[in-house]
Chains A and B, each alone.
Chain A
Amino acid sequence: MKKKNLELNAIFAVAEEMKKNDGEDSYYYDSKEGHFFLASLDGCGGSGSKRYMNFSGKTGAYIASRAVCGGIKAWFRESGEENTFYHYIKKALSVCEGYADKTGRIMGSLAKAFPTTVAAISGKSNQGKIDAHCLWAGDSRCYMLDPNGLHQLTQDDLDGEDAMSNLTSDGVMTNVINATSEFEIHHKKITLDHPCILLTATDGCFGYLKTPMAFENLLIGSLMEASSPFEWRIALNERMSAVAGDDYTLCVAVCGFKDFEELRKAFMQRSTFVLENYMNSQYDPNLLWGNYKLEYSKYL
């Protein structure tokens, strides 16, 4: 039997900045000819707090997320090849460096010029499957959500133990895009042969919740409230806005569902399960995490 083609159903972003016109996140999503792309970027405000007069007094973090996002956009439109991604980012950074004024030095092991994270997914339809290629640096994440649960696809560049401990330890990133020192863009390829949702998220989306389970509950709880992608987007924004203590950016691509009703129905049982077993449970969240992380970490 021929397999159903996993076409892209919907693609959108949910984003909010805490301080109007000073947000340090950026994003880009696009699709063309069976190929889609999601990217969420988070300029690092602490290490990139130097302000540049040549950039209207904006911080290095603010400039970096936008400039690198521009580089990524050019990459998707002009190339899309894995081996050129890094070079497009480096080029964007070198433009920032070239234009930046050299006054107001900031030094120190933590200070970096134009630091930003990126989490991106390049997805291609391929004979009933989705070939998903994750590219990332820093603590922004790529996820896959299906009726079995939420799955983190990318390993955080933090020295914490796992997604639960990273919520409270809040350590310094061990790798981040910047113009001061070398950095690495990690790559991971996975093939998905079932309907699912792919997501890229900055830490503002998941970092202010009590547990990783709460992020899944936020995602599918808001889906249950909606009757269209537009309504889901609004519900997601309302829920994230209520808890976030930082700019947040979530890019979403829905693949392989017949329509929105089928998407909603596919997650109905899971939604009840998460609510009953993780959100309303009386057990210690750390014990619950021990159980939850088996499925959550399957692709790590």
Chain B
Amino acid sequence: MAGNYKMTYNVDMVFCIDCTGSMGDLIEIVKNNALNFYQDMKNAMEEKRKNINQLRVRVVAFRDYRADGADAMLTTDFFNLPQEAEEFERCVRSLRADGGGDDPEDGLEALAYAIKSKWNADGVKGRQVIVVWTDAATHPIGFGANSPYYPNGMPRDIQELASWWGGVQSSGFVDKNKKRLLLFAPDAPAWSQISQNWDNVIHFPSQSGEGLSELDYAQIIDVISNSV
């Protein structure tokens, strides 16, 4: 009977976290926010009486292939929360702000990893959310391609990366209705280009070293919980 039916959601989230030296002041805030994210999301959803059936989170920590070599990118599988909360916490706690070389970082390669996540593909209502936390502009895709640690299978350029995200005319690797990209990133190349031109993006422009105010964080929770 309809009266017993309760709509539930499957939510997948990927946190792309800039772990370069310039994130020193910011990274503890980012880490704490990432760790609180599950409980804050759960609370926000419960307040709205929305039922999360399954919440999965994975981490993509990024730096700079040219400057940091083997430490340029850390990717995890999805953690099922709350069952794997301890593993997720251990992973986030292990992140350190270090390296990075020049000012821009390899955030686009991190985004590429995030977009190609093994998303939950069942037909149930849900969201596929990527959250990027950084205080730096990005290098062009392939800037670090000379590094022996640069991965195979990256997009050739930002246009190809955009096609991975998908648009009105072509579907990418993320479900066109479920996808959301939340950028906590400066209004700088290539984040501003993505913010303006890709579908389903919300961009909170950040300032280097200024951290996250309570309001900004509350807004991020609002955006996700209201979008689910």
Give chain A's interface residues, CB within 8 Å of chain B: 18-19, 24, 44-47, 49-51, 59, 61, 104-111, 160, 167-172, 207-211, 214, 217-218, 239, 242-246, 279-280
B187 within 8 Å of A (CB atoms): yes
Least CB distance from A159 to B in Å reads: 8
Given A18-B49, A46-B227, A243-B6, residue A109 in contact with residue B177 (CB < 8 A): no
B121 within 8 Å of A (CB atoms): no
A161 to B201, CA, bound (A): 23
Which residues between 10 and 54 of chain B lie within 8 Å of chain A, taking CB atoms?
47-51
- CB-CB under 8 A from B7, the residues of chain A are 207-210, 243, 245
B199 within 8 Å of A (CB atoms): yes
Q: A106-B219, A170-B177 are in contact. List 11 more A-B contacts (CB 8 A).
A: A45-B225, A61-B226, A107-B192, A107-B195, A110-B199, A169-B177, A170-B125, A214-B2, A239-B3, A245-B48, A245-B50
**9 A–B contacts from the bound complex (CB under 8 Å):** A45-B225, A51-B218, A107-B204, A108-B195, A108-B203, A110-B201, A111-B203, A168-B124, A170-B177
- CB-CB under 8 A from A169, the residues of chain B are 177
B199 pairs with A172, CB closer than 8 A: yes
Give chain B's interface residues, CB within 8 Å of chain A: 1-3, 5-7, 47-51, 123-125, 176-178, 180-181, 183, 187, 192, 195-205, 215-216, 218-219, 222-223, 225-227
B201 pairs with A46, CB closer than 8 A: no
Our pick among B5, B6, B183, B215 for the contact of A214 (Cβ within 8 Å) is B5
B5 pairs with A105, CB closer than 8 A: no
- CB-CB under 8 A from B192, the residues of chain A are 107
A23 to B5, CA, bound (A): 23
Our pick among A106, A111, A171 for the contact of B176 (Cβ within 8 Å) is A171
Residue of A at shortest CB range from B179? A172
User: Of residues A44, A107, A108, A209, which shows the largest number of chain B Cβ atoms within 10 Å of its Cβ?
Assistant: A108
B201 pairs with A279, CB closer than 8 A: no
A286 to B208, CA, bound (A): 52
B125 pairs with A168, CB closer than 8 A: yes
Least CB distance from A52 to B in Å reads: 11
A59 to B216, CA, bound (A): 12
Residue of A at shortest CB range from B213? A104
Q: Is the interface of A mostly helix, strand, loop or mixed?
A: loop
Least CB distance from B201 to A in Å reads: 4
- CB-CB under 8 A from B48, the residues of chain A are 18-19, 245-246
- CB-CB under 8 A from B203, the residues of chain A are 106-108, 111
Given A61-B226, A245-B51, residue A170 in contact with residue B178 (CB < 8 A): yes
Residue of B at shortest CB range from A172? B200
Our pick among A44, A167, A218, A245 for the contact of B49 (Cβ within 8 Å) is A245
A18 to B216, CA, bound (A): 22
A279 pairs with B198, CB closer than 8 A: no
Least CB distance from B53 to A in Å reads: 12
Given A243-B3, A244-B49, residue A106 in contact with residue B204 (CB < 8 A): yes
Our pick among B49, B205, B227 for the contact of A105 (Cβ within 8 Å) is B205
Least CB distance from B220 to A in Å reads: 8
Residue of B at shortest CB range from A48? B226
Residue of B at shortest CB range from A105? B205
- CB-CB under 8 A from B1, the residues of chain A are 279-280
In the A-B complex, list the 5 residue pairs whose CB atoms are closest, starting with the nearest. Answer: A45-B226, A46-B227, A214-B2, A108-B203, A171-B177
A50 pairs with B219, CB closer than 8 A: yes
Least CB distance from A170 to B in Å reads: 5
